[in-house]
């Protein structure tokens, strides 16, 4: 006869769990998913991310510029050239793009070699290119050497460029306000530039003269009006509620 297996001996002995009394302040609380409390696990958390300080300042400034009343000198920068007009002028001005350092060095080297050989140069003058830089362009406008000036609208601070349109008007020089300083910078092989000027029309001169007449009518014509402030979301809601209340009273 086989031996009887003891069932009790085979089962592992269960360890008794020790109950530790926790401090009353250390108890886990259930998560509260109501407004202003814990974030729900399935929700997109990108809107809860804190933006950097410079982004907050950009957005606050943008709202302030909408809410505050702007004088005519600043209001004209909110009405720049349209996209189609910008495209036309930029395609023409790409022909007047200045030389790079390498191209300039090669040109000067060729001129020097021609002088050594005793060959006559075609023109002693420099080639016509776009001029950039605020101080340089103000000098060209004051001397009435500039024939067309383009000013960027998104310059920060705007006070650096505010005087330039009135200066162009007083000197009777056609100017235009362009929406992007980065687009102007590309014409001059730079990241950004506040303004750009042409001293003479050589290539596609007829088109440029027509554009100058158009800009004179738009920008140099009637004086710019001040920009009225825009209402915020809360102000619009408040005005709508007041209108509804007035309608209810009139019906009674």
Structure tokens at 177: 């306000």
Q: Is residue 48 part of a domain?
A: no
Q: Is 184 part of a structural domain of the chain? A: yes
Is 167 inside any structural domain?
yes
Mean pLDDT of the chain: 83
Strands (E), the chain: 131-132, 148-152, 175-178, 195-198
Tokens of 147: 């024939």
- Looking at the domain assignment, is residue 1 inside a domain? no
**Percent of the chain beyond pLDDT 70?**
87
Rounded distance between C-alpha atoms, residue 148 and residue 171, angstroms: 12
Mean pLDDT of 87-108: 87
Q: Which domain holds residue 89?
A: 75-219
Q: Are 133 and 190 in contact (CB under 8 A)?
A: no
pLDDT value at position 15? 62
Q: How many domains, the chain?
A: 1
Instruction: Decide if pLDDT at 20 tops 90.
Output: no
The pLDDT value recorded for residue 161 is 93
Mind giving me the DSSP string for 171-226?
TT--EEEES-HHHHHHHTTSS--SEEEES---SSHHHHHHHHHHHHHHHSSSPPPP
Question: How many Å separate Cα 13 from the centre of its chain?
Answer: 73
- pLDDT for 17 equals 63
What confidence tens digit (pLDDT) does each residue in 101-134 have?
888 888 888 888 888 887 766 655 667 789 999 9
Whether 169 is in a domain gets the answer yes
Query: Encoding tokens for residue 32?
Result: 């509260």
Residue 68 lies in a domain: no
Beta-bridge partners for 152: 178
CATH code of the domain covering residue 158:
3.30.1330.30
Which of 23-27, 42-46, 98-102, 188-192 reaches the highest mean pLDDT?
Answer: 188-192
Q: Is residue 137 part of a domain?
A: yes
pLDDT tens for each residue of 153-197: 989 888 999 999 999 999 999 999 999 999 999 999 899 999 999
List the structure tokens of 105. 């060095």
Starting at the earlier edge strand, list the strands of the sheet with 195-198. Answer: 131-132, 195-198, 148-152, 175-178
| Burial 70-105, CB ≥16 within 10 A → b, else e | beeebebbeebbeeebbeebeebbeebebeeeeeee
Joined together, the tokens standing for residue 228 give 């009225």
Q: Which residues contact 39 (CB under 8 A, 6 or more apart)?
A: 45, 48
Q: Which of 172, 162, 181, 170 is nearest to 76 (CA)?
A: 162
How sure is the predictor about 1, in pLDDT bands with cuts at 50, 70 and 90?
A: very low
**pTM to 2 decimal places:** 0.68
Give the range among 40-49, 74-83, 146-155, 157-166 with minimum mean pLDDT.
40-49
**158 lies in some domain:** yes
Angstrom distance (rounded) from CA 198 to CA 136: 12
Q: How many CA atoms lie within 13 A of 158 on its CB side?
A: 16
């Amino acid at each position: 006869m086989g031996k009887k297996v003891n069932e009790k001996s085979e089962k592992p002995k269960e360890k008794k769990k020790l109950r530790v009394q926790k401090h009353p302040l250390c108890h886990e609380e259930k998560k509260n998913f109501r407004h202003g409390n814990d974030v729900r696990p399935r929700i997109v958390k990108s809107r809860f991310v804190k933006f950097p300080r410079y982004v907050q300042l950009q957005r606050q400034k943008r709202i302030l510029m909408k809410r505050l009343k702007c004088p005519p000198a600043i209001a004209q920068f909110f009405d720049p050239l349209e996209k189609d007009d910008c495209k036309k002028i930029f395609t023409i001005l790409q022909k007047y793009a200045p030389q790079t350092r390498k191209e300039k060095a090669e040109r000067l080297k060729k001129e020097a070699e021609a002088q050594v050989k005793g060959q006559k140069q075609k023109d002693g003058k420099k080639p016509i290119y776009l001029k950039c830089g605020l101080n340089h362009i103000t000098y060209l406008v004051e001397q009435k050497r500039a024939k067309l000036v383009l000013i960027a609208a998104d310059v920060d601070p705007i006070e650096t460029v505010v005087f330039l349109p009135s200066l162009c008007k007083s000197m009777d020089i056609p100017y235009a306000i362009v929406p992007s300083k980065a687009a102007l910078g590309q014409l001059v092989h730079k990241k950004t530039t506040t303004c750009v000027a042409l001293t003479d029309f050589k290539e596609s001169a007829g088109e440029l003269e027509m554009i100058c007449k158009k800009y004179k009518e738009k920008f140099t014509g009637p004086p710019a009006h001040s920009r009225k402030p825009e209402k915020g979301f809360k102000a619009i809601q408040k005005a709508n509620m007041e209108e509804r209340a007035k309608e209810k009273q009139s019906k009674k």
